[in-house]
Structure 1
């Protein structure tokens, strides 16, 4: 990926733990590595095909002067997020905030914090077998798309499937979506749980009936094994109600562990079942 680099932009702003820092203000130096594709801009020589670094500099200055935080960690985190939300061509940003006049009572050149954040590609499975199933799924898609740090990119058809695991319940309506997000895996998991709660999901029986079920299938190409979250989804290769709609929107997406495509997993499952 290409990079636009801004080095040591001087901003006088009011951030700090001590009252005199927030009242009197001080100088900060901001450096930014903005990762984007400049190929089209380079070929056309048109500014609108690139990210205007002058506009970004003014944005950084105005944003830091408009807000006040105690920690430069918060300055860096919030600024990076706002840059990614404001400039759609920027896929990833690394921001360094330097504080040359850090009041620690010792001689030093500066203290700095650097954060690197990016948009992530995530695939989520959706399911419902209670109430108005289609409305539950459509409401979940809409709610995710309306979140400031999530963008729904693709949604599969919703398909009717027989229940999995516990079969003495109504049929399911299932689908998959692809979204871009700034959230970490655990932050996204919490968001999905909040949407399930909003749909009045009750976790009474494992694999039992539910108004809304949202599962993270893939998050970029990471492999994550935490007590509360496993990515890729541990059982997706055995679930045709996941693979069929997922194949509609990502037929050649590869499982980072097995390196099999969604199409290959769906074909292998079909051969095992038949």
Structure 2
């Protein structure tokens, strides 16, 4: 079976994740990138959205998770996002990157991120 890649990058959502109380109180923006491995052949052949991943609905689902219940670690957040992606019909594997550009780090930095890769069972 052919596998293709559907990618959504730069999804910016305000969330309240972090170890420190001030992170939970004020919150901050998180940026999410996902790449889904799936076959798009049937969708391309039929020109029908029902045979592929609706990336608008995907963005809404991921945003709801980021804006939802807070966690201490972006690793945990990435796992939640990956699980949501793998629950989609036809998704074989996913790569998720969660960026935390406003992380409480005492040094000057551009970004901190965690990237995970997960496959459907």
Q: TM-score, normalised by structure 1?
A: 0.43
Give the equivalent residue in structure 2 for 1:2.
Answer: 4
Deviations 1:197-233 (CA, angstroms, capped at 9, x unpaired): xxxxxxxxxxxxxxxxxxxxxxxxxxxxxxxxxxxxx
SS at 2:102 equivalent: coil
Name the counterpart of 1:22. 24
- How many residue pairs get matched? 119
Q: Distance in 2 between matches of 1:43 and 1:29?
A: 33
Secondary structure of the equivalent of 1:68? coil
Which residue of structure 1 lines up, in the alignment, with residue 13 of structure 2? 11
* Whole-Å separation in 2 of the counterparts to 1:83 and 1:5: 11
1:68 corresponding residue in structure 2? 70
SS at match of 2:58: helix
Q: Which residues in structure 2 correspond to 1:92-107 (within 5 Å)?
A: 92-107=93-108
Give me the whole-angstrom Cα distance separating, in 1, the residues matched to 2:35 and 2:107.
30
Q: What is the match of residue 228 of structure 1? A: none
SS at match of 2:72: coil
For residue 83 of structure 2, the aligned residue among 68, 81, 84 is 81
Please report how far the alpha carbon of residue 13 of structure 1 lies from its aligned counterpart in structure 2 after TM superposition: 0.5
Equivalent residue for 1:115?
116
Question: After TM superposition, what 4+ stretches of structure 1 lie above 2 angstroms from structure 2?
Answer: none
Does the CA-based 8 Å contact 2:65-2:80 persist in structure 1? no
Question: SS state of the match for residue 74, structure 1?
Answer: helix
Instruction: Report the 3-state secondary structure (helix = DSSP H, G, I; strand = E; otherwise coil) of the residue aligned with 2:43.
Output: helix
* Offset from partner CA, 1:245-264 (integer Å, 9 cap, x none): xxxxxxxxxxxxxxxxxxxx
TM-score (norm 2): 0.95
Task: Tell me the SS of whatever aligns to 1:35.
Answer: strand
Q: RMSD between aligned alpha carbons?
A: 0.8
Distance in 1 separating the partners of 2:67 and 2:39 = 29
Deviation at 1:67, TM superposition (A): 1.7
8 Å CA contact 2:36–2:85 kept in 1: the answer is no
Q: Which structure's CA Rg is the greater one?
A: 1
Q: Which has the higher contact order (CA 8 A, sep 6+)?
A: 2
